[in-house]
Amino acid sequence: MVDYDGARIAALVEQVAEAVGLPADTEIRVEVDEHTPLGASSLASLDPITIRVESGALEDAKNPRHLSERNVIGLSARLLFRAYDRTTPAFADAPVDAELTPSQAVAWDVYSVGRTARLGYPSQKGRRQYHFRIRHGFSDKTDEVFERLWSGEGLTWADIATACEQTASSPQIVG
């Protein structure tokens, strides 16, 4: 369905892994489900690091059926930062991904994508802020928490959990 280049995806993921700070000998697998045009993605395993992605997440929206290098970089950076975090003591008490609440997952994504932006990669800050507002509410407090996560360095799981608690009373879209 889509003209993907496995070698190019691997090269981009390797570049991002280095920028994220993963050791050079880290084994990373990218499993692309080419049977669906949808765009879900997940960090399926830490040993080895395994990223599962539906093909639509890697497709260039402006050039259908072709690989978007920007999407490969953004998606892999977000998930590789999460994998990196999970290897540190600061995130030892983080729930497994399947047990994260939607609010926690979005907050961690904001922290990851903010670091991705500081590496010089495209980040779609406005899109991330909108997703954060949907899960955390539409308020000045929510926007302050978003900015703290987005610009954060050296945050811990406790910081992510606290951010979610601080926005819990804001009006949210449930669904």
Q: What is the DSSP string of 120-144?
A: T----HHHHHHHHHHHH-SSHHHHH
Same domain, 43 and 75: yes
Residue 103 lies in domain: 92-166
* pLDDT score, position 18: 97
Q: What is the pLDDT of residues 14-56, one digit of tens each?
A: 999 999 999 999 999 999 988 888 999 999 999 999 999 998 8
Same domain, 12 and 81: yes
Q: Is residue 97, in this structure, part of any structural domain at all? A: yes
- Whole-structure pTM value: 0.91
Q: Is residue 171, in this structure, part of any structural domain at all? A: no
CATH number at residue 50: 3.30.2010
Same domain, 11 and 56: yes
| Contact (Cβ atoms closer than 8 angstroms) between residue 79 and residue 45 | no
Strands (E), the chain: 28-33, 41-46, 49-54
Q: Is residue 173, in this structure, part of any structural domain at all? A: no
Domain count, the chain: 2
Q: What is the pLDDT of residues 60-101, one digit of tens each?
A: 888 888 899 999 999 999 999 999 999 999 999 999 999 999
Same domain, 97 and 44: no
Same domain, 53 and 73: yes
CA distance 53 to 159: 28
Which of 64, 86, 108 corresponds to the end of one domain? 86
Q: Is residue 101, in this structure, part of any structural domain at all? A: yes
* pLDDT score, position 175: 52
